[in-house]
Amino acid sequence: MSEESDSLRTSPSVASLSENELPPPPEPPGYVCSLTEELVTKAREELQEKPEWRLRDVQALRDMVRKEYPNLSTSLDDAFLLRFLRARKFDYDRALQLLVNYHSCRRSWPEVFNNLKPSALKDVLASGFLTVLPHTDPRGCHVVCIRPDRWIPSNYPITENIRAIYLTLEKLIQSEETQVNGIVILADYKGVSLSKASHFGPFIAKKVIGILQFFLHGSDLNSLHTSLPRSILPREYGGTAGELDTATWNAVLLASEDDFVKEFCQPVPACDSILGQVLPPEGLTSDAQCDDSLRAVKSQLYSCY
């Protein structure tokens, strides 16, 4: 009998296998590092990331997820898991907790995370409430600029602003460069009434939270310029980088529509019981009022990033 015949006889098709004999699911896509040599060195020094151990570390985290949270509906791709390892300096236990917290927050705040896609937030994007500056800071951090004065409460609820913030963070964090360098969130309170400013309490901080760093400023720009150089700031912040451009970042987000639909617009499997195992961050409840929900953003950022 020919070799081909033997192969056909000893290798039954998937359709002919019983349920218990189905082949295992394919392994997640392999990882290809996109970091420059300079960033590889930075990741080694600041994040405890060793390129020669990287895939071993990813596999260790993947095994922990499968063992401790077998029903958790999550990506197990190398690139996705690396995001959590880097945020917690390759401490397996802390990276696992961050991953679980991330999904727990998504499940427990559906009014923010369900249907999270650029086309659903065109009004917020058009308002100029937030954008990403075209130039990074000297450390390579992207700068997210939030302008509360652009929010008109009668136009849409405050949760839409929160959704736009997370949309932007999720897009930025996909980049390995961002995972290593981090993100600066710049909140502009210039011209904002005290009553409206109180809604944005979570951003009154200058503190590193995982990969995030917050800066608050009002009319006095001196403190801002000690942290961010004028060369990357638009004219309205006392910088020399021209007028603030919001259209470019809006276009980047809108071009990512398919990615967000795939990640945030799919039903959660019924077997995903993570909410029964992990409590959401303090302040996050499904029936929270808009103001309460916004005050919970800082808590959630601690847990998710």
Q: Residue 104: which domain range?
A: 37-108
**152 lies in the same domain as 256:** yes
**90 lies in the same domain as 124:** no
**139 lies in the same domain as 196:** yes
Burial status of residue 286 (CB atoms within 10 A of its CB: 0-12, 13-18, 19 or more): exposed
**103 lies in the same domain as 161:** no
Q: How far apart are CA 229 and CA 292, in angstroms?
A: 34
In the block, which residue shows the tokens 């998937």?
Answer: 14
**137 lies in the same domain as 248:** yes
- Characterize the bridge pairing of strands 183-188 and 212-217: parallel
Q: How many domains does the chain have?
A: 2
**196 lies in the same domain as 94:** no
Q: Say if residues 257 and 263 touch (Cβ distance below 8 Å).
A: no
Identify the helix (H) or strand (E) that includes residue 143.
strand 142-146
List the structure tokens of 165: 């913030």
User: Phi and psi at residue 214, in whole multiples of 5°?
Assistant: -105, 140
**129 lies in the same domain as 251:** yes
CATH number at residue 207: 3.40.525.10
Per-residue pLDDT of the chain (305 residues; tens, 9 = 90+): 444 444 433 433 444 444 455 555 555 567 899 999 999 999 999 999 999 999 999 999 999 999 999 999 999 999 999 999 999 999 999 999 999 999 988 888 888 899 999 999 999 999 999 999 999 999 999 999 988 889 899 999 988 999 999 999 999 999 999 999 988 888 775 544 333 333 443 333 333 345 556 655 556 677 788 888 999 999 988 899 999 999 999 999 999 999 999 988 887 665 565 554 444 444 444 344 444 444 555 555 556 66
**89 lies in the same domain as 136:** no
**Which residues are 131's β-sheet partners?**
145
**79 lies in the same domain as 195:** no
**102 lies in the same domain as 153:** no
Spatial CA neighbour of 228 closest among 145, 128, 125, 131: 145
**97 lies in the same domain as 125:** no
**206 lies in the same domain as 90:** no
Final residue before a domain boundary, out of 108, 136, 166: 108
Residue 243 within a domain = yes
Residue 63 within a domain = yes
Measured at the alpha carbon of residue 245, what is the angle toward residues 241 and 250, in degrees to the nearest 5? 145
Residue 7 within a domain = no
- Characterize the bridge pairing of strands 208-209 and 183-188: unpaired
Residue 166 within a domain = yes
Q: Say if residues 163 and 124 touch (Cβ distance below 8 Å).
A: yes
